[in-house]
A and B are shown apart, each in its own frame.
Chain A
Amino acid sequence: MSCIKMKYEVPGDDFTRAGEASSMVKRKLKQLGYNPDAIRRVAIAMYEGEINMVIHAGGGVAEVEVYPDRVEIALIDQGPGIADVEMAMQEGYSTAPDNVRSLGFGAGMGLPNIKKYTDAMRIDTEVGKGTTMYLTVKAK
């Protein structure tokens, strides 16, 4: 099965560039004539993941693999890790600092939104080492 691979650097602490990777992936999937609903869900999940890496992890890498029936995304950072994944998955729970909240982030909806808009989500995280999130969006 043919697969298109894309890789993006997500810069840390730069909110003016956050969202670039998800915008580029969205554009690329549109060019490919991909399923519109899947494009929308990929864009949302990736954007939230990017923002998380910018806020919490000093940036990271987004790897995207596009298959005819699904998109697989890996979001990889060497940040502080997530101490309590269960808490982080709850709507409204946030550890984002105040300066980030003033930009409109920190609603505690990042991970819940990612879960809501993907078909599969796995978080590998270790405190002090970093976090890798694997996401799958199926083209229904």
Chain B
Amino acid sequence: MTVEECAQKLSLRFLAGEEGAQTEISGGYVGDLLSWVMGRLEEGQAWITVMGNINAIAVATLKDASCIILTDEAPLDEDARRRAELEGVPVLVTDKNSYQTALALGQALL
């Protein structure tokens, strides 16, 4: 499933990085502590979080996450949005919480 297909299935809205829409999602990881995510997120996973700051974009880029899904309508900082555009990291948002989003992603990936 690509990021774009995921966005359609889970009713996610693109905030940045649409050029990465065709990236394949291999799974998901949920977490808000950056170093924790840095140590554990695996390449290609969708990162489900409420962290919309510029450091989150750096972590997603360095770990080759397929996308960031911001839950609970968490805001994306303006400098983070610019960095995401620059790096081509898709950032999407949903009004659902992280549990609901992970559940829906898991079902969509079955």
Checking A48, A104, A109 against B32 with a beta-carbon cut-off of 8 angstroms, the contacting residue is: A104
In the complex, what residues of B have CB within 8 A of residue A48's CB?
A: 35, 38
Contact pick for A109, options B36, B53, B54, B61, CB 8 Å: B36
Q: Taking the complex as formed, is A103 at the interface, i.e. its CB lies under 8 A from any CB of chain B?
A: yes
Per the bound structure, the CA–CA distance linking A113 and B38 in Å amounts to 8
Q: Is the CB of B55 within 8 A of A22?
A: no
- Chain B residues, Cβ within 8 Å of A43: 62
- CB-contacts of B53-110 with A (<8 A): 53-56, 58-59, 61-64, 79, 87
Report the minimal beta-carbon distance from A89 to chain B, rounded to whole angstroms. 14
Given A22-B62, A43-B62, A104-B33, A109 and B39 contact (CB-CB distance below 8 Å): yes
Partner pick for B38 among A15, A16, A26, A44, CB 8 A cutoff? A44
Chain A residues contacting B79 (CB-CB under 8 Å) are 16
Give min CB distance, B104 to chain A, whole Å.
Answer: 24
Count of CB-CB pairs between chains A and B under 8 Å: 69
Interface flags, B27-58, vs A, CB<8A=1, else 0: 00000111110110001000000010111101
Interface residues of B, dominant DSSP = helix
**Contact A19 B62, beta carbon cutoff 8 Å:** yes
- Give CA–CA (A112, B38) in the complex, Å: 11
Number of A residues with CB within 8 Å of any CB on chain B: 24
Our pick among B32, B35, B55 for the contact of A18 (Cβ within 8 Å) is B55
Contact B61 A23 (CB under 8 A): yes
Q: Determine whether A134 belongs to the interface, using a CB cutoff of 8 Å to chain B.
A: no
Could you tell me the distance between the alpha carbons of A6 and B34 in the complex, rounded to whole angstroms?
26
Check A40 for interface membership: any CB of B closer than 8 A.
yes
Q: Which residue of A lies closest to B61 (CB)?
A: A23
**Complex contact A47–B51 (CB within 8 A):** no
Query: By the criterion CB–CB under 8 Å, are B36 and A47 in contact?
Result: no
Contact assessment for A109 and B33 in the assembled complex, using a CB-CB cutoff below 8 Å: yes
